[in-house]
Amino acid sequence: MGIQTAGTDMRAAPPRDRDAGAAAAGRPLALVRAWLVVVAIMVFAMVIVGGATRLTDSGLSITEWKPIMGAIPPLSDTAWAEAFEKYRQIPEYKLVNKGMSLAEFQFIFWWEWGHRLLGRLIGVVFFVPFALFWAKGWLDAALTRRSVLLFVLGGLQGVIGWWMVASGLVDRVDVAPYRLATHLTLAAVIFVLTVLTATTLVERGGLVGLSSTDGSSGRTAAFWLIVAALAQLFLGGLVAGNDAGLIYNTWPLMGGRIVPVEVWDLAPGWRNLFENHATVQLIHRFGGYGLFAFAGAHAVLAGRGAERRRAGLVFALVAMQAALGIATLVLSVPLALALLHQAMAIVILAAASWHYGRIGRIVAG
């Protein structure tokens, strides 16, 4: 009497112990998701800083690619003089900024340096926790492969960033528009994959992995909505790369016409799709109309409940983006509005990715 047996102790753990066990079981999932959310936020910031770097014409201020040593900025008057002298050798200085003061150079240098530093920090913030989670055995094979893919894409983004900058160091006074658009779009793809991964995480069998789906009919449309948003972002990159928002600052017509007269002025003809200011603006306009119609149709045809609410949110964001794009154009691309327009494009991708990741999601199995 009064003596508890071992069997009695094993029959039911105290409530406090059960709660602690449940919390410990969910900790890997929470930490992995928090890690991916932080990375996504940093990529979002990277896109905005990159937009500011472009709009302040700062991207060519650093004329070398030093992935490791480039993290250290000039720390002496001599180092600043050397960096400025290298900038003086490129066409942008000779043809656009000749006579620029050291203080003016430092302003554009810090924008580009900050942009590159943020890219390096994203690499560290991604890789270190990933290595830790992998070493602890928290990640299943599918999530490990997805994480490695994201890391490789991040490295590729650095290479493409230099490929973009290099295009403006010899024969041009700015970077090639199609290279800028590629750099921007790859950043957006990395962002989408990161958000999708965070959205579809589950924990099963003691491992954190990716949930499966049931192939719901609305899922295909949601996927193509992401693709359409990425395509529109690429077209916006071409507009930014050509400074095409500084012409035809009227809407809905361009010089009193739906299609301006000079859309095929360049030869060979394919150059118009990438370098003709009127053409890239025209295509971006119609891309926006198409995305608006697609998002609206998807919102109407989406399933009931949460799926329809998510689709409605994406459409509302696309409608806001359309209004913001028109305002940015009509006001001749003020810096604040241009950055807000670019930020909204990433917000749309976040909402569309979350929407796609939740459709037909299967947690168990």
Q: What is the overall mean pLDDT for the chain?
A: 91
Question: pLDDT band at 14, cuts 50/70/90?
Answer: low
DSSP 271: G
Q: What is the pLDDT of residue 363?
A: 52
Digit-coded pLDDT (tens) for 157-214: 999 999 999 999 998 999 999 999 999 999 999 999 999 999 999 998 889 999 877 6
Distance CA 296, CA 314 (A): 9
pTM recorded for the entire structure: 0.91
pLDDT score at 149: 98
Confidence of residue 349 (pLDDT cuts 50, 70, 90): very high
Question: For the residues 107-134, what does the mean pLDDT come to?
Answer: 97
User: How far apart are alpha carbons 40 and 196 in whole angstroms?
Assistant: 10
Asked if residue 249 has pLDDT above 90, the reply is yes
| Identity of the residue numbered 80 | W
- The residue that leads in pLDDT, 168 or 25, is 168
pLDDT of residue 45: 97
Tell me, what amino acid is at 243? D
pLDDT above 50 (res 7): no
In sequence order, what DSSP letters do the residues of 303-320 get, joined into one string? -STHHHHHHHHHHHHHHH
Cα–Cα dist 338/332, whole Å:
9
Distance between CA atoms of residues 329 and 324, nearest Å: 9
Q: Tell me: the pLDDT tens digits for 206-245?
A: 899 998 776 667 889 999 999 999 999 999 999 999 999 9
Is the Cβ–Cβ distance between 103 and 82 less than 8 Å?
no
Task: Give yes or no for a contact between 60 and 174, defined as CB atoms under 8 angstroms apart.
Answer: yes
Which residue is listed with tokens 């305002």? 327
Q: Report which residue type is found at 126.
A: F
Give yes or no for a contact between 197 and 210, defined as CB atoms under 8 angstroms apart.
yes
Reply yes or no on whether the pLDDT at 17 is more than 60: no
